[in-house]
Homo-oligomer: A and B are copies of this chain.
Amino acid sequence: MKIEVTQANLSRALAMMSRVASTKTELPILTNVLVATNEGGVTLSATNLEVAVTHFASAKISTQGKVAVPARLFHDFISQLPKDETISLVLEKNKLVITAGSYSSHIQSVQAEDFPALPQIASQQEVSIANEDLSRNLTKTVLAASHDETRPILGGVYVHSFNKKLYFVATDGYRLAEAEVTPIDFDVSAVVPAQALQEVLKMSQDGEEATSTLSFGDGQFAVSAGNTQLVSRLVDGTYPEYRKLIPETSEISFEINKTEFQTAAKLAGLFARESGGSITISASEDEQTVTIASVASQVGDNKSAVASKVKGSGDVVLNVRYLNDALNCFEGDEVSFRFGDSIAPCVLSSKKQPGYQHIVMPLKS
């Protein structure tokens, strides 16, 4: 193998490879990136068996070939090189010789033949999404996925169709985020691991392409954007019927300035450390005011009153961390907040973001 490639092209591709390549040493081969020449360029691949990514970069090919080298080290080396360098990669015996101007290195390689076959998706159905929409909707949903490994189904994002629209939904049992993403003309129901979608999020933000194509196959999910493809296995199992849990209407509701609500929540959070983040939100229709309060017996207490458009009166106790996370998902100046008795879910939404809602379960007060 003997090729020349620009630092910019190689560095960007390797950033993704080094994130996806496994860091676990049980399967050492997976810590590598596979570099293989093609017509007019080079294909880089990495996988951790759950997620696989491939990227084709333009390159000048003098001699065809392929090699696997440690992804992290290869990325760290290339990313330190000057941005305007052309990099030469030559396979000499079992070492990859990297030369860029006066900088050079030999990296011990492993047999490319030992690298596992990458999953291919037999795509049955595809939908295209503007990367701007993909990025915005992933950001606002994937944060709600669970990190609890005992319930793997909640560690995924539920990517599904409903009434001819594609939705992303994630929940950890304490809060839930639902985004209506785009019209769709086929039925789909897939639970995609959050880690794979975190990588898709980076692809949609870093890439130069305007759109991505989502593909759904048997037990697999793929995203393609330009020269980059990601394939992920799906999470086994049936996603909870979450729609039943979201109340259609609530007894109490208010429209509130987002910044003031955020400030009040952060202040309350300072006094909620010993109570595990528990703060009380009280709506008063008479006073057209929302009060956010918390108490720390040894330390002090806190109360903020924010003038709001309030319908109905009542209290609810929430975990301040989930409230802060939820408020960060809204872009406009105003947020709508509705709730019922002390155990009914709280629903946050915004007129500026139709199709998006964020649910926070109350704490028992």
Does A107 interact with chain B (Cβ within 8 Å)? yes
Instruction: Report the separation of the CA atoms of residues A102 and B76 in the bound assembly, to the nearest whole angstrom.
Output: 51
Whether A77 touches B267, Cβ cut-off 8 Å, given contacts A102-B304, A102-B306, is yes
Contacting B at CB under 8 A, from A70-125, are 70, 73, 76-77, 80-82, 95, 102-108
Shortest beta-carbon distance, A188 to chain B, in Å? 43
Measured CA separation A197–B77 after assembly (Å): 36
Residues of chain B within 8 A of A263, CB atoms compared: 80-82, 103
Q: Is the Cβ of A270 less than 8 Å from the Cβ of B73?
A: yes
When distances are taken between beta carbons in the complex, the residues of chain B under 8 Å from A25 are none
The interface-forming segment of A136-144, A202-210, A295-303 is A295-303
> What B residues does A95 contact at CB under 8 A?
300
Is A344's beta carbon under 8 Å from chain B? no
CB neighbours of A301 from chain B (8 A): 105-106
Asked if residues B82 and A270 are in contact (CB atoms below 8 Å), the reply is: no
Whether the pair B70, A104 counts as a contact (CB closer than 8 A) is no
Indicate if A2 sits at the interface (CB-CB under 8 A).
Answer: no
Least Cβ distance of A321 to chain B in Å?
A: 15
Give Cα distance in the complex from A73 to B305, angstroms.
20
Contact B300 A107 (CB under 8 A): yes
User: Is residue A61 within 8 Å, beta carbon to beta carbon, of the partner chain?
Assistant: no
Interface centre among A70, A260, A267, A305 (most CB of B within 10 A): A267
Distance, CA A289 to CA B263, complexed state (A): 59
Distance of A14 Cα from B322 Cα, bound (Å): 28
In the complex, the answer to whether B303 meets A270 with C-beta atoms within 8 Å is no
A306: B residues at CB distance < 8 A: 102
Q: Is A264 a contact partner of B103 (Cβ separation < 8 A)?
A: yes
> Contacts A103-B304, A104-B302 given; 14 further ones with Cβ under 8 A?
A77-B302, A80-B266, A80-B267, A81-B263, A82-B263, A102-B260, A102-B304, A103-B263, A104-B304, A105-B267, A105-B300, A105-B302, A106-B300, A106-B301
